Amino acid sequence: MRRINVPVLIVGGGGCGLCSSIFLSDMGVEHHLVERHASTSVLPKAHYLNQRTMEIARSHGFADTIYAVGAPMERFGHIQWVTSLGGDGPLDRRRFHEFDGFGGGSLAERYWRDSPCMSSNYPQLRLEPLLRQTAEERAPESIHFGHEVVSWEQQPEGVLAEIHDRAADETYEVLATYVIAADGGKTFGPALGVEMVGPTNMVDMVSTHFAADLSDYADDDSMITWSINAEGQGSWTSGALVKMGPTWNRHSEEWVIHFAFRPDDPARFDEEAIVPRLRELLKLPDLEIEVFKVSHWILDRIVAERFRVGSIFLAGDAAHRQPPTTGLGLNGAIHDAHNLCWKLAEVLAGRASDALLDSYEAERKPVSEDNADWALSAFTNFAVVDVAMGLLPGAPVEANVAAMQQFFAEDRVGASKRARFAEVINTQRMEFHAHDIEIGFSYDNGALVADGTPAPSRDPLGVEYTPTTRPGHRLPHAWIEQDGQRISTHDLVRPGAFALITDADGAEWLRAAETVAAETGVTIHTAVIGTGGAADLDGQWATDSELQAGGAVLVRPDQHVGWRSATLVSSPLQALREAIASILIHQVPAPA
Ligand SMILES: Cc1cc2nc3c(=O)[nH]c(=O)nc-3n(C[C@H](O)[C@H](O)[C@H](O)COP(=O)(O)OP(=O)(O)OC[C@H]3O[C@@H](n4cnc5c(N)ncnc54)[C@H](O)[C@@H]3O)c2cc1C
């Protein structure tokens, strides 16, 4: 049988696998990606790409491609709540709340302060072809759709996988030093017996992707329209309507509506019932609907007990699955790939020991557990919102109708209920304003040198983000001017390279970086911010860097801080040697 030897086999051509390919290509790592389907996913799934994801896309040169086609911020940074889209009853078509979200409107200033780029919104079924094209452009021979891993075994020299090329009906072998199992949890994890820990099978959600003209009922600015009405009995059962574009206003050609069934509801797989149910949910009995796809997904909050088994790394949905609230699924999958790929590049180039790869689990598992808990909390918080409106799930419809009548009554009771609702719904900012969850996550243990400082306290609702250069945290963004160009501190960190940032008093660090780079082969770009170097345009770096004169920060290729020294030390060369050696887990070279 034909055999290919390759450093990395990527299994899965979803968001995680395709981004892994792009990242590895940018670092010159040869790989072979297989996806069993002939095309990218036909399911709409994710649509929100958070700021961290867009920062990563920016540093790998594909953010502008997404911005060019995704919804502009003024068309997605908003959420509204209605009783129903249609209908002409006294409780119908009431728009009773709205919210800025995802960095839009009132949030924009804060989001722009903390990042060189904004979040975006582009449905996964449109995003994946774009990622596929980018991956194919960068590694034309490496991307293989319609190819399935049918069997595999771990061997001393790596993983030997048997792959079936469906179109050619041909089977071949790939011997890979490492495997990124970005397979959505379909293949490697279950076969390896990796337990997915956490509650599962909580709710059966149905997502229906359809075309319809809703321009007489929808608005231009809200990406998500939540319905809460007495008949639906609550947020998840009344449905959430999401624009799918490609036109990003009320004339959106395509839509998705998500709503929940109880897992034991016999009607849940009755496809015939879906269109009537949709019309009922929207209260538009005569609406012409063309259904593209009805998909069921089970609400889980599960995280793999292990992210690494031998030479195999579980990433994306293979490692964690959580409710879609806060959009941490696809985003987290891309962050996994970003964390893992630079480490693979260093190890495969012989600049780091294999033990560096253990830090992938040490770093990403706690963050994934946090994200999964967060997503579930944001999901269940909708029940609080429903009750705040006066609805009791399971109560007779008449009781809930009466509660809603009270809610909208122009009297003291109605005013009080609406005021209570306004306070309670504000807690849902844990989902729509989750700025700290999105960019403030950090690693406590892993490929970093802890400096003993305490982590900044975190906002319990996940909104307020505190910039810090404490090791393990994402490098704070600040605008600087270098060689006449306004760039972000993030631009100092290029794919596959470390960056050392210091000030005018830190010249010795620069010499040390040059020596350590020569000794280890590790690429370390250097930058001086302040006198004699790049201008700190808004003074933001001076505040957020937390460095004193002569201090330095060493940033890993994934833009997370690996080490810092608040001041100049007596032997910068030794300090930097030890820092790089600890991060890459190899011996400190003997002084020349
Ligand atoms: C309704 C809904 C809304 C969501 N909204 C959001 C959101 O707003 N933001 C967000 O971040 N996330 C969201 N998510 C989650 C997001 O869609 C997933 O987290 C994301 O798709 C995970 O990507 P992945 O690449 O890890 O896995 P997948 O997309 O599942 O890709 C895995 C791929 O591996 C392939 N594969 C499996 N086994 C093999 C094999 N043996 N050989 C070859 N190929 C194989 C599969 O065919 C599949 O294409 C949402 C999910 C749903 C269901």
d(CA 182, CA 34): 10
Q: 205 pLDDT exceeds 90?
A: no
Two tokens, residue 567: 């001041």
Q: State which H helix or E strand residue 188 sits in.
A: helix 188-192
- Cα 360 to ligand 1 centre (Å): 20
pLDDT reported for residue 237:
79
Residue from 183, 295, 301, 367 whose mutation best tests the ligand 1 pocket (most atoms within 8 A of CB) = 183
d(CA 301, CA 217): 35
d(CA 463, CA 329): 19
CA angle (470, 476, 477) in 5-degree steps: 170
Please, which residues bridge with residue 500 across strands?
526, 554
Chain mean pLDDT for the chain:
94
Q: Residue whose CA is closest, atom 45 of ligand 1?
A: 12
pLDDT reported for residue 298:
84
Q: Residue whose CA is closest, atom 52 of ligand 1?
A: 45
Cβ pair 36, 147 in contact under 8 A: yes
Q: State which H helix or E strand residue 502 sits in.
A: strand 498-502
Orientation angle between helical segments 358-389 and 412-425, nearest 10 degrees: 180
Cite the DSSP H helix spans in 452-557: 507-520, 540-544
Q: 263 pLDDT exceeds 80?
A: no
CA–CA distances in Å: residue 478 to residues 113, 304, 331, 492: 8, 36, 23, 11
74-98 average pLDDT score: 94
> Which atom in ligand 1 lies closest to the alpha carbon of residue 328?
11
pLDDT tens digits for range 431-450 = 999 999 999 999 999 999 99
- Cα 392 to ligand 1 centre (Å): 34
DSSP 127-151: HHHHHHHHHHHH-TTTEEETEEEEE
pLDDT reported for residue 589:
67
Work out whether strand 312-314 and strand 170-181 pair parallel, antiparallel, or are unpaired.
parallel
- Cα 316 to ligand 1 centre (Å): 7
- Cα 317 to ligand 1 centre (Å): 6
Cβ pair 24, 8 in contact under 8 A: yes
293-304 average pLDDT score: 91
Say what the pTM is.
0.96
Q: 592 pLDDT exceeds 70?
A: no
Q: State which H helix or E strand residue 98 sits in.
A: strand 95-100
Strand stretches in 299-381, DSSP E? 302-304, 308-309, 312-314, 320-321
| Residue 15 three-state SS | helix
> Which atom in ligand 1 lies closest to the alpha carbon of residue 40?
49
- Cα 457 to ligand 1 centre (Å): 33
pLDDT reported for residue 280:
86
pLDDT tens digits for range 164-191 = 999 999 999 999 999 999 999 999 999 9
pLDDT above 70 coverage of the chain, percent: 98
> Which atom in ligand 1 lies closest to the alpha carbon of residue 41?
49
Which amino acid belongs to residue 108? A
Orientation angle between helical segments 15-26 and 328-348, nearest 10 degrees: 30
Two tokens, residue 479: 């605008």
Cβ pair 288, 212 in contact under 8 A: yes
pLDDT reported for residue 271:
73
- Cα 17 to ligand 1 centre (Å): 10
Give the confidence band of 525 by pLDDT, cuts at 50, 70, 90.
very high
> Which atom in ligand 1 lies closest to the alpha carbon of residue 147?
43
143-157 average pLDDT score: 97
> Which atom in ligand 1 lies closest to the alpha carbon of residue 53?
11
Q: 264 pLDDT exceeds 70?
A: no
Give the confidence band of 202 by pLDDT, cuts at 50, 70, 90.
confident
Give the confidence band of 297 by pLDDT, cuts at 50, 70, 90.
confident
Name all residues whose Cβ lies below 6 A of ligand 1.
11-17, 34-37, 41, 45-48, 124, 148-149, 182-184, 186-187, 207, 258, 297, 316-317, 324, 327-331, 333
Which amino acid belongs to residue 268? R
Q: 283 pLDDT exceeds 70?
A: yes
- Cα 40 to ligand 1 centre (Å): 10
DSSP 560: B
Q: 270 pLDDT exceeds 80?
A: no
Q: 418 pLDDT exceeds 70?
A: yes
d(CA 576, CA 588): 10
pLDDT tens digits for range 29-69 = 999 999 999 999 999 899 999 999 999 999 999 999 999 99
Work out whether strand 158-165 and strand 147-155 pair parallel, antiparallel, or are unpaired.
antiparallel
d(CA 531, CA 67): 35
Q: Residue whose CA is closest, atom 1 of ligand 1?
A: 45
Phi, psi (deg, nearest 5) at residue 526: -120, 155
pLDDT tens digits for range 444-498 = 999 999 999 999 999 999 999 999 999 999 999 999 999 999 999 999 999 999 9
Count Cβ atoms below 10 Å from residue 358 Cβ, excluding itself. Answer: 16
Tokens 């609805």 correspond to 391
